[in-house]
Amino acid sequence: DAGVTQSPTHLIKTRGQQVTLRCSPKSGHDTVSWYQQALGQGPQFIFQYYEEEERQRGNFPDRFSGHQFPNYSSELNVNALLLGDSALYLCASSWGTDGYTFGSGTRLTVV
Amino acid sequence: GQQLNQSPQSMFIQEGEDVSMNCTSSSIFNTWLWYKQDPGEGPVLLIALYKAGELTSNGRLTAQFGITRKDSFLNISASIPSDVGIYFCAGQPPAGGTSYGKLTFGQGTILTVHP
């Protein structure tokens, strides 16, 4: 049973560019959350998707947007990249009150 | 962004020693979770706590959900080298609130175990 799958694993982008990160949830999970983890910090909640709609959002600017597809997979889009957007981006999936399962993340470096 | 107060920030211990770390919050949580994260990986769930006062074990790990619902601790007994990693606490607010579904994480405890 595959867990949460994220792609790509690593990415280097230039300031001002746009990036799309992808996540496939664990089988049976219908809710996807995205987190940003800066070096040496705990993950910070970006937003959560359920039934193809954004259900919750953290304190992130509108440059961060997302989408959930009918098969429950999800994308995180970041526009106008800043150096400070460099981080590990984690996707977590869940179903009901089950604990969240995290993927291995996408390491984004903005230069 | 908001984070829980997790302590200690780092620990250096000898193999075989016991370890204790804790998290406190100014907000009430309905669920406390403890995760371990290895380099280059995502957090892996160790223990989930769903009820105030609950004490739960997973092998050598024991965690408790504080009575006030604003704190939790994790103990690791008889540490071994593979316990090395970063441990995070995370809290989930009550259902029905505006933040339900959002996990708030502590800053992590870096554990080093010397053989």
A40 interaction partners in chain B (CB closer than 8 Å): 107-108
Q: What pLDDT does residue B20 have?
A: 97
Weakly modelled stretches of chain A, pLDDT under 70: 1, 97-98
DSSP classification of residue B95: T
Question: Do the chains contact at A104 and B40, CB–CB below 8 Å?
Answer: yes
- pLDDT: is B108 or A95 the higher one? B108
Searching chain B, which residue's CA lies closest to the CA of residue A95?
A: B101
Q: Which amino acid is at A73?
A: S
The sign of the dihedral angle between the CA atoms of A4, A43, B67, B109 is positive
Q: What pLDDT does residue A97 have?
A: 65
* pLDDT (mean) for B2-12: 90
- pLDDT: is B101 or A64 the higher one? A64
**In sequence order, what are the beta bridge partners of A22?**
A7, A75
Say how far apart CA B114 and CA A102 lie, in whole Å: 28
Chain B closest-CA separation from residue A19 CA (Å): 20
Binding-face residues of A in 68-87 toward B, CB within 8 A: none
